[in-house]
Every structure is written in structure tokens, then in C-alpha cells.
Amino acid sequence: MSGWLAVAGLGPGDPSLVTPEVTAALAEATDVVGYIPYVARVAPRPGLTLHPSDNRVELDRALAALQMAAEGRRVVVVSSGDPGVFAMASALFEVVEARPEFHDLDIRILPGITAMLAAAARAGAPLGHDFCAINLSDNLKPFAEVERRLRHAAQGGFAMAFYNPRSSSRPHQFARVLEILREECEPSRLITFARAVSTAEEALTTVTLAEATPEMADMRTVVIVGNEATRRVGGWVYTPRSVTG
């Protein structure tokens, strides 16, 4: 029996947004590895061992998964959303880079519906023109780098999607993000706060930049900032395809 490892995106929450490719990998797996709430989304069955682990142990989790696959097990590392967007795929390759014994392992990355695109679909089409995805967490980069990217994104006329906008360990940073946006963008710029899209806790709010407050975001929120042409139509928010709009 030859082992393999798949890093799979479970999408934003609802089972109808899990691809058949991911469902098939989970059906063949002997082991599922991941952050506790993501592993909880996989149905237990005989022959499948679940390995939930805490947040912020991504490298340990990746190493454990690689070791099991090298031993011949069929391992799925589960991520929320898409594994390549601020999730487990990069963490896995960081470990593979340091461990040449894993270079020939059978590894697949299985894409998923990432949070910003699920949120954009619910809101309308706010990312319908050029856009940026920015992780606002400073766990892995200095906040000065976040600020630099925000300014380039705004000055370049990009719409923006923010992941990890706010957490209890850094409550003041998102207030600073709003300040930077107010320096770079007009007060009428539309911002959508999309919380827990496709789950029972889903909540969407769209306000202007002038109206936005830090408390509108939490760790389960994706924030989408339109570009200067982004507008409302009926209950929807969309960004025109053309620059002249």
C-alpha cells in the first residue's frame, strides 16, 4: 500500500460547497488532520482516524501528516476555504522544504471555495474587477508590511478582501486599518463585512467607509472593500467590469 497526502479545501462551511474531488479524497482517507473545527466537519466512519489539533501548530500538524503518509497511510489535511489561500498548503511546503525525505511523496493540493469568493457571491459581485487578497494578521509579518500593502492596493485602484481582520489578541489593528483606508479612499467607499458565510451564523453588512467601525469585524469575518466604482444596485453590491464604469 502506498501512502499519499492531500491538502483539501472544505469551503466556507456548507456541505454543498465542498467539491466532489475533496469528498472523494475524504472517502479514501485513513487519516484526517487539521484544526479542531475543520476536522469536526468530517463525518467519522470505521477505518478513518481523526486527528484534530489546536490553532497555531500548523508546522507540527504538517509534519505529522507527512510522516503518516510516508508510512503508507492515506492522509487528508483539511483547511477551511481553499488550502492555498492563507491556509495549510504553504505550511506543508515549508516542512517539505526542510525535509528532503518527503520530496518524492505523493502530494496533491485540492482547491476549495475560498472565503472571499463565497462572501463576494453572497454580496453580489464586489470583486468583479481587479482585486487583492490581504491577510491582516501580523502573526507572520510585521504590521508595517500590512500598511504598505494596503496603501499600494488602494493607490492601484484594487478592490480588496481581508482575511483575519481582527482577533482578541490584536483588537486595535483593524481600527488602524480603517484609518489607513480613510487616508487613501473616499468616505463613500463601500465595505462589506461578511461573517461565517454559508453557515447558520451567516451575517452580511455593507456600509460606507465613513460608517465602518472596528467592531463590525471579528475573526470569522471576511471584509471586502470595493474600488472607487463599486456601487449598490437593489440589495446587491457590485464592481463594474470596466474602469470607466
Residues 180-199 that bind its own copies (CB under 8 A): none
Site for its own copies in 147-176 (CB under 8 A): 148-149, 151-153, 155-158
In order of 20, 79, 120, the CA distances from 241 in angstroms are: 31, 31, 15
Site for its own copies in 61-100 (CB under 8 A): 82-87, 89-94, 96-97
Query: Distance between CA 159 and CA 190 in Å, rounded?
Result: 10
In terms of CB distance, is 3 or 83 closer to its own copies? 83
Site for its own copies in 104-143 (CB under 8 A): 104, 107, 109-114, 117-118, 120-122, 124-135, 140-142
Residue 240 CB, nearest approach to its own copies (Å): 6
219 binds its own copies, rule: CB under 8 A: no
Residue 215 CB, nearest approach to its own copies (Å): 24
Sequence-distant (6+) residues with CB within 8 A of 158 are 130, 131, 132, 227
In terms of CB distance, is 186 or 215 closer to its own copies? 186
Nearest Cα neighbor of 88 from 131, 15, 34 is: 34
Residue 151 CB, nearest approach to its own copies (Å): 8
CA angle 165, 218, 175 (to 5 degrees): 55
Q: How many CA atoms are closer than 13 Å to the CA of 207, on its beta-carbon side?
A: 14
Q: Are strands 221-225 and 190-195 parallel, antiparallel or unpaired?
A: antiparallel
Strand, coil or helix: what is 211? coil
Residue 83 CB, nearest approach to its own copies (Å): 7
239 binds its own copies, rule: CB under 8 A: yes
